[in-house]
Amino acid sequence: MNISREISPVLFEYNRQGAYNGHIPVTAINSAILAVAAVLYGFDTIAFSNERSASSATLEYDGQPVNHQWSKGWEFEQRFHALLKSQVASDLDYCSLLRPLSELAVAERFARTSRYDDVFSSCNRNFRILGPKPADRWCGQCPKCHFVFLALAPFMPKPRLLAIFGRNLLDDASLAPAFDALMEYRDHKPFECVGEGIEARAAMAALAARAEWREDAVVARFADEILPSLDARDLALAPLLVPEGEHRIPARLAALIDAHR
């Protein structure tokens, strides 16, 4: 079964006329599409792969938390699940199989296999509908490239990671402000689907303690200028890899998740 969706070309015309190009809650849209498919084809569960980090706000504005990926978060999952139960089908489950995991926990599990090294990408510029796309799978300039590189670095050999990205993003001094934003150092984290500041700080601290990474430009700067001002208790990597928090994974699927912990 294949399900597809298309963006209306009218939106691009609005852009040409000067309309703002806002964020589209694609997870909410796909959730609604899959709810229809589940009813039509007799499925009892809609399962996504949204980690617990997606529930964290990007910033706070005027006293209100702002999360650009809210439809990937736990609050949306709860509300949409309740809506399906009350208005669509009482026996239809909606959940995320990765909800108990942080971004770093997902990266650690993903790094266990090299099967997808030559094909995967999390670079938004690769998925542009209009305009040029990067020649490689990773542009190396967007926040998602920066975060994925940082998140994977503690969990795989350095040569393997450099082969995936084609360059060492942590040895480019010009990218220091970009990594600062990921760590929420003097800036809020980017409006992109990236992990929490505490995750970025913990990953960077782990690299600063390793000989193969500590001399790279961004890591060395972190160790000299940022690390001394941080509380060491908030930089531990291990606690961020432990599944925790609320979720609604059905018991029959929980065993599959446990097998990969």
DSSP 123-188: -GGGG-SSS---SSS--SSSHHHHHHHHHHGGGS-HHHHHHHHSS-GGG-GGGHHHHHHHTTSSSP
Give Dmax (Cα) for the chain: 58
Rounded Cα distance between 125 and 135, Å, is 10
pLDDT at 79: 97
The answer to whether residue 22 scores a pLDDT higher than 90 is no
The answer to whether residue 261 scores a pLDDT higher than 70 is no
Rounded Cα distance between 17 and 14, Å, is 5
Rounded Cα distance between 15 and 19, Å, is 5
Q: Check residues 261 and 173 and name the one with the higher pLDDT.
A: 173
What is the mean pLDDT of the segment spanning 124-137?
72
Rounded Cα distance between 32 and 124, Å, is 23
∠ Cα 18 126 134 (to 5°) = 95
- 181 near 190, Cβ under 8 Å? yes
Rounded Cα distance between 106 and 94, Å, is 20
pLDDT at 260: 62
The pTM score is: 0.91
pLDDT at 165: 96
